Every structure is written in structure tokens, then in C-alpha cells.
Structure 1
Amino acid sequence: MIRISIQLRQSLARLTLPVLIAAAFGTMLLGKADVVVVERARMGLADALAPIWSALQRPVAAARAAVRDLSDLAELRQENARLREENARLLGWQNLARTLEAENALLRRQVAFVPEGSPGFTTARVVADGGGTYARAVLLSAGPHHLVRKGQVALDDRGLVGRVTEVGSRSARVLLVTDMNSRIPVMLEGNRARAIMVGNNGSRPRLLHWPPGTPPQEGDRVVTSAEANAFPTGLPIGVVRLTGTGAPEVELFARLDRLEMLRLFDYAVNGLPSPDPPPARPDPRGKK
């Protein structure tokens, strides 16, 4: 009996591989012969296993949800603590702002301050980049009866963009503050020092010619200055960023790579270029 069982096992072992190969070839031939039958069999097997997979996924999904809830709870606690701290700081700034507002109102009454009127502005859409005389400029579609004039100040929703340099019957061109021909008088809000912001055809204009002993510092807020009567005071421009060599540059508030709509303000500042050249005077001697 022992010899028979051993021989039987050896025979079965020798037959296993040929049987599996034959089954594989049979399945391949069946799939080639009748795709619909194989597809139905595969889908039937999937349908039979789907409830099992679903049942196995439930405890796994529940465990994952529990871990995620614990993580979210920890993050909410940290966020709550941060918001409380930020709220306390904002309350302090609010009290300081109210105190400064009252002091400012008192000083204005004492000096009989006359507030400036709100400047008029025109909104125009940016339709093209570059072109023209300048390397960093945008073309605006202003419409047939526009009120755009040379020298108007262009701003987006964040800060200064540039100035209008060319005006046509239906379009206008704005020279960006990053163009190498751009020279803008600016002021550092921290120490009220004046400087000149110079474009370099890059993304960050440079700062030059600040007073001795008052170099720009990292993070200083930069606004326009009324020097030379070219711009009004206080238009937001950006913040100071120091390069690896310590040279101050300005990280602009305006997103010059995403300009779509610009507001062109007419501040009526003295020194802005006239929109049209004055007419030529006739020669009193009759010469042309």
C-alpha cells in the first residue's frame, strides 16, 4: 500500500505541470474563441468578490477615518491656539489704531487740514505684453472715446504698475516699473528715507541713491514719494529684499505677470508730461 501511494503521488506530481499548461492554453483558446463568455466569467467573478472586498474595506476605512479625525483634531487645536494669539495681537493693534486715529483727527483740527480730493481714474484691459519702444510695457485697449492721458499712474488691485507713456485713439501703452528706462522716486516707510527705484528689465527693480546712514533694510515697505512732483505720496509699491551681495531690490506688490485690468489714475500732479505738445507759435517776423 505504501509503494502504491508513493507511486501515485509521483505520478500526480509529474502530471501537475502538464495539466496546468493545458488549462492555461485552454483558457487562452476559449478567450480567443468566445470573448463574451470570458468577459461574463470575469465579471461574474468580480461580482462575487465585490461584497467580500466591500466588507473588508469597511473596517479599514473606519480605521483610516479615525486616524484622520485624530489628526484633524490636533490640527484644529493648534489652529485655535494660533487664532487666539493672533486675535489678541489684532485687538492690541485695533486699540493703537483708534488712539492714533483720535490723535490724527485732533492734529488735523489744530492745523486746519484740507483733505485732498479723490482722484479720477479710468479702467482699461491689458491686451498685449511688450512691443513698442520699451522692453517692459503692456498695451491697453482704451475704447474709441477714452480719457487716458500721458503721465497717468497705472495700478492693479495690489500696487503700482507703471505710467502711461503712449496714447492712441483706441489704445495706450504703460511703461512698467521693471523696465530699464523706469526711474521712480520712492520712500521707505520705516525711516522716511528717500531713494530712487530703477528698473533693470528683471522682476525686481533696484534701489539707488538713498541718504547716507539710512540704507534700506530687509522687509522695509516701499511707497511712492512726491519728489520732483512726478507721483503722489504713499502709493504702495513693494517691500525691500536684499540680494546675496546685500544689494537692495524691491519685491513688487503688483503681479506684473498676471495683469488683466489696470486702473489709470489722474492725480493731476505737477510735472507730469502734457498729453499733447503745445501748438507752435507763429514767428512775428513772418518766417516759417
Structure 2
Amino acid sequence: MKTRNGGTVVRIAAPLWALLNRFYFLLLIVAAVALMVFGRVDAVVVDHARARVTDAFAPVLDVLSRPAAAAADVIESIRQLARIHGENQRLREENARLLQWQQAALRLDAENRSLRSLLAYRPDPAVSFITARVIADPGSAFLHTLVVTAGRRDGVKRGQAAMAGQGLVGRVVQVGEWSSRILLMTDINARIPVVLETSRRRAMLAGDNTERPRLMYMQRGAEVIEGERVFTSGHGGLFPPGLPMGMVTTGGGEPRVVPMVDLTRIEHVQLVDFGIPGGLAAEAVQPGAMQ
């Protein structure tokens, strides 16, 4: 009797299983659509059901994820150890090279001190600077100047260099108690001795109230290189040598200098005291710059 009932059940279930296998993809699509429609109709019930299913499977997922997380941690630890080993080896080699350079530097420093004592070398004075904010640009077609928030009480002196960004922009020509006026290198009163970096030719940088000051008093027939950098030469005692000012451009038929700094967008400047005697710097400032 049991065998007959079991055989009957098997005979009945076999066609149903075959039918299910044949249309299971369609049934899944229908079930998904039904869930979507049901979710649109009653979203609260669907959210509660989703939350309960998530809560039910969360412990199982947590248990299953732990071995994978542990294996990932072990792999990461092995990789980190390999990286640390390589970094340690690199640092050892770098340390050995630095020790060699340290010995060379100490030897050269001792030799340098010995040579300076023989030559009675006088070191350059310490450089100090004051950072100030630009508060006014009273420039016009005939005057290119800036007013900054630093004056005599801050240690500003007439003739000090005004630096901004990567290069020299001008010099202090008027000092008040709370503010100072800077004459820009593009002003028609500005005259700065300069030297070209590659050719080592000397010239005078002369402002003419344009964005690109001229190079004057160069040797007759001297050729300049486009893009060659221009530095202060140190002649006249106005500025120390080596301050960057700009790059040469030959467009327009005469050599001019494109300043390192956009002089129309200066917000802060450094007023640098290079320790140059005040008399030389003051004498280099032309009276016309005070107008």
C-alpha cells in the first residue's frame, strides 16, 4: 500500500517538477513583477518584510564573512611585511649614502672655514623681511606704485627690496609710520642694473609705464636669447646680486623683460632688508619717484 501510494506521489510530482523546470524563469519574472507591484501598493509592508529578512540573514552573513575577512587580514599583513622589508632595505641604503655625504660635508665645511680665514672673508649680513598686505594701487598712466600695511614702526626703511612670489617687484621709496609706498619696476622712474643669466651681459632695466620694462645700455650688436632669465647685478648698491626679475622677450623689435610676477595681481609683498647701507639705497631712489 505504501509503495503504491509512494509511486502515485512520484508519478504526480514528476510532471509538476518538469513543468516547473520548464517555466521557472517565467515564474521568477512574474514573482519579481508581483513584488514590484506590491511594493508600489504597500511600501510600508515591503520595507518591514525586507528589514525582517535582513535581520534574519545578518548573523549568517556575519559568520560567513568572518573567515573571508580573516583571510584578507592575513594576506594584507603579509603584503605589509613585504613592503616594510623593502622599505627597511631602502632606508638602510639611503642612510649609508647620507653618512657618506655627511662626512664629505664636514670635510668641505672645515676646508671652507680654513680658506675663509686665509682670505679674511666677510660673510653677508643676515637677511630680514617683513610681510605686508597691499591696501592700495594708486597707479595711473604716469605712476606705478603700491601702498602696503607696514611702516617705520615695523622696521621698514627706504630703499628696501619688495619681493612677491618668485621675484623682485620694486623697492620702497616712501616710508610712513603705518604704511609705505613701493615703486614698481615698471614705473618710468625705475632704473635697476641687471645681468642676463646665460650670456652674462649687463644692462639697465628701465620702466616705461608699460607691463614690460626695457633693457637699455647694452653693448652694440649684443644678441639676447628669448626666454633668458634676468637677475639683479648688484651694481650701484641698490640691490644684492642674483634677485630674479623676469625673462627676456624680443617681440616688438627691442628686448624687454616679462616680470616674474603679475604686477596687477599682487596682494602681499615681502619688504626685504639685505643689510645694504642705507645711504647707497637712499641715494639710488630718484626724487621723481616720490611724486
Q: TM-score range by the shorter chain?
A: 0.5 to 0.7
**Long gaps (5+) in structure 1:** 279-288
Cα deviation digits, residues 222-246 of structure 1 (max 9, x gap): 8743313322x35x53599999xxx
2: CA distance, partners of 1:45 / 1:79: 49
- 2:132, 2:148 within 8 Å by CA — same for their partners in 1? yes
Give the number of aligned pairs.
261
- 1:154, 1:263 within 8 Å by CA — same for their partners in 2? yes
Task: Call closer, same or farther: CA 1:146–1:97 in 2, change over 3 Å.
Answer: closer
Residue 88 of structure 1: how far off its partner (Å): 1.7
2: CA distance, partners of 1:258 / 1:13: 78
Residue among 125, 132, 137 paired with 2:132: 125
One-letter amino acid of the counterpart of residue 116, structure 2: N
Larger deviation: 181-190 or 94-103?
A: 181-190
- 1:126, 1:138 within 8 Å by CA — same for their partners in 2? no
- 1:195, 1:211 within 8 Å by CA — same for their partners in 2? no
Q: Secondary structure at the match of 1:8?
A: helix
Identical aligned pairs, as a percentage? Answer: 21
- 1:149, 1:275 within 8 Å by CA — same for their partners in 2? no
- 2:134, 2:147 within 8 Å by CA — same for their partners in 1? yes
TM-score, with length taken from structure 1: 0.59
Residue 85 of structure 1: how far off its partner (Å): 2.2
- 2:137, 2:146 within 8 Å by CA — same for their partners in 1? yes
One-letter amino acid of the counterpart of residue 139, structure 2: G
2: CA distance, partners of 1:52 / 1:74: 34
- 2:161, 2:172 within 8 Å by CA — same for their partners in 1? yes
- Identify the residue that residue 57 of structure 2 maps to in structure 1: 45
Task: Call closer, same or farther: CA 1:160–1:242 in 2, change over 3 Å.
Answer: closer
- 1:230, 1:272 within 8 Å by CA — same for their partners in 2? yes
Q: Give the 5 Å matches for 1:257-272.
A: 260=268, 262-265=270-273, 267=276, 268=278, 269-270=280-281, 271-272=283-284
Residue 102 of structure 1: how far off its partner (Å): 1.6
Residue among 19, 43, 58 paired with 1:11: 19
- Identify the residue that residue 243 of structure 2 maps to in structure 1: 237
Cα deviation digits, residues 73-131 of structure 1 (max 9, x gap): 3244234323432432342233122212122123218xxx7x77667x66242246977
Which has the larger share of helix? 2
Q: Give the 5 Å matches for 1:72-87.
A: 72-87=84-99
Residue 56 of structure 1: how far off its partner (Å): 0.6
- Identify the residue that residue 33 of structure 1 maps to in structure 2: 44
- 1:150, 1:164 within 8 Å by CA — same for their partners in 2? yes
**Long gaps (5+) in structure 2:** 1-6, 250-254
Residue 152 of structure 1: how far off its partner (Å): 1.4
- 2:192, 2:204 within 8 Å by CA — same for their partners in 1? yes
2: CA distance, partners of 1:45 / 1:70: 38
Residue 140 of structure 1: how far off its partner (Å): 2.3
Q: Secondary structure at the match of 2:132?
A: strand
2: CA distance, partners of 1:40 / 1:175: 77
Residue 32 of structure 1: how far off its partner (Å): 0.9
Cα RMSD (Å) of the superposition?
A: 5.5
Q: Give the 5 Å matches for 1:30-109.
A: 32-34=43-45, 35-108=47-120
- 1:140, 1:173 within 8 Å by CA — same for their partners in 2? yes
Q: Give the 5 Å matches for 1:222-233.
A: 224-231=232-239, 233=240
Task: Call closer, same or farther: CA 1:96–1:260 in 2, change over 3 Å.
Answer: same
Q: Which has the larger radius of gyration?
A: 2
Q: Does 1:152 align with 2:160?
A: yes
TM-score, with length taken from structure 2: 0.58
One-letter amino acid of the counterpart of residue 126, structure 1: R
- 1:124, 1:140 within 8 Å by CA — same for their partners in 2? no
